[in-house]
Amino acid sequence: MSETVVETRDLSVRFGGVHAVNNVNFSLKDRELRCLIGPNGAGKSTFFKCLTGQVQVGHNNGRVLIKGHDVTGWRPYDIVRLGVGIKTQTPSVMNGLTVEENLWLSARRVNSRETVREVVQAVMAQVSLEGIARRQLGELAHGQRQLVEIGIVLAQRPWLILLDEPAAGITHAEADRLVEIIHEVNQKATIVVVDHDMQFVRSLGGHVTVLHQGAVLREGPVDTVLADQKVREVYIGSRAK
């Protein structure tokens, strides 16, 4: 039985009168691949930001535990230092630097000066970034920036990867490649993907957690959950296939 590596206990976040995250109890096993889905305003991104430390959770509003550490109230850099890789919803990259330099900064923190170059080259090959290695991020299209950010995450060789909408703005071919990369990385790392592209979520497979109005609505294998009547009503509606 694999151990639980991520856990939230009675997690709640309020913005004014709105319960963005409402008493969420969530757990994730080692090397699990979990997709978080839900309609707009379901609280996916807020919940994601609670895991990454980008939204600070008060100690009276539940707990976030990562590999046994109570990270409630921790800053993002402390959480990342546990071995967590984070990709944000809109590409968060260093626009004035080249692709290679972005990856270097990511890889250097966890690699020695001698090995960092090899790691950068390997990640560029893995995400097919060699052709744009010397280009500045500010010059690249949205899809390319998404891939670079995924490269930035992989360059840290994390054991837990949190990806917020990784498939947004990328081509079908790139999305297919991304699914392959995620499955490949999942051999060694636990992955959480937040997305609302159902085709992408289906391609990823694994387990799905559906959030609705800040709370967990359903949880289970992707096909079972997506076939659930309640899920179809609140989320997929008439678009369900």
Partner 1 sequence: MTNSSNFGTGRISWLWFALACLALLIAPALFDVNTMTVLLIWSLFALSLGLMWGYAGILSFGHAAYFGLGAYTFAVASMNIGESTLPLLLALLIPALLAAVIGAMMFYGRISDVYMGVITLVVTLIIFKFINSTAGDAYRIGEARLGGFNGIPAFPILNVPGQTDIPIFGLGLYYVVAASLLICYLLCRWILASWFGRVLVGIRENESRIELLGYSAPLYKTAIFTVSAAMAGLAGCLFANWAEIVTPGLFSLGQSAEVIIYTIVGGLGTLIGPMLGAVGLGFLKLLLGEQTLIDNSLLLGAILVLVVLLLPSGIVPTFMRWRQKRSQATAARHRANSTRRRRRQHGDGA
Contact status: 101 vs partner 1 (CB under 8 A): yes
Are the C-beta atoms of 154 and 120 separated by less than 8 Å? Answer: no
Which DSSP category does 206 fall into?
S
Q: Does 108 sit near partner 1 (CB under 8 A)?
A: yes
Q: What are phi and psi of 204, to 5 degrees?
A: -70, -35
CB of 154 to partner 1, least distance (A): 12
Nearest residue (CB) to partner 1, 86 versus 167: 86
Min separation Cβ 114 and partner 1, Å: 11
Burial 95-116, CB ≥16 within 10 A → b, else e: eeebbbbbbbebbbebbeeeeb
| Angle subtended by helix axes 116-126 and 142-154, to nearest 10 | 140
Q: Considering only 13-21, 80-88, 174-182, 231-239, which stretch makes contact with partner 1 by CB under 8 A?
A: 80-88
> Does 94 sit near partner 1 (CB under 8 A)?
yes
CA distance 33 to 110: 24
Identify each DSSP E strand in 30-181 by its residue range.
Answer: 33-37, 63-66, 69-70, 84-87, 160-164
Rank residues 116 and 147 by Cβ distance to partner 1 and give the closer one.
116
**Residue 129 and residue 143: Cα distance in Å, rounded?**
12
Q: How far is the CB of 135 from partner 1 (least distance, A)?
A: 12
Choose one: 10-18, 77-85, 166-174, 184-192; the region binding partner 1 (CB under 8 A).
77-85
Residue range at the interface with partner 1 (CB under 8 A); choices 91-99, 201-209, 210-218, 231-239: 91-99
> Does 146 sit near partner 1 (CB under 8 A)?
no
Cβ nearer to partner 1, comparing 29 with 117: 117
Report d(CA 214, CA 176) in Å as an integer. 30
Cα distance between residue 37 and residue 135, in whole Å = 34
Using CB under 8 A as the binding rule, the residues of this chain from 17 to 76 that contact partner 1 are 52, 54, 75-76
6 touches 34 (CB < 8 A): no
Q: Which of 14, 69, 134, 230 binds partner 1 (CB under 8 A)?
A: 134
Helix (H, G, I), strand (E, B) or coil at 219: strand
**What's the closest the beta carbon of residue 76 comes to partner 1, in angstroms?**
5
> Pick from 152, 163, 204, 208: which binds partner 1 (CB under 8 A)?
152
Interaction between residue 90 and partner 1 (CB under 8 A): no
Rule CB under 8 A: which residues touch partner 1?
A: 52, 54, 75-77, 80-81, 86, 88, 92-98, 100-101, 104-106, 108-110, 113, 116-117, 120, 133-134, 152, 156
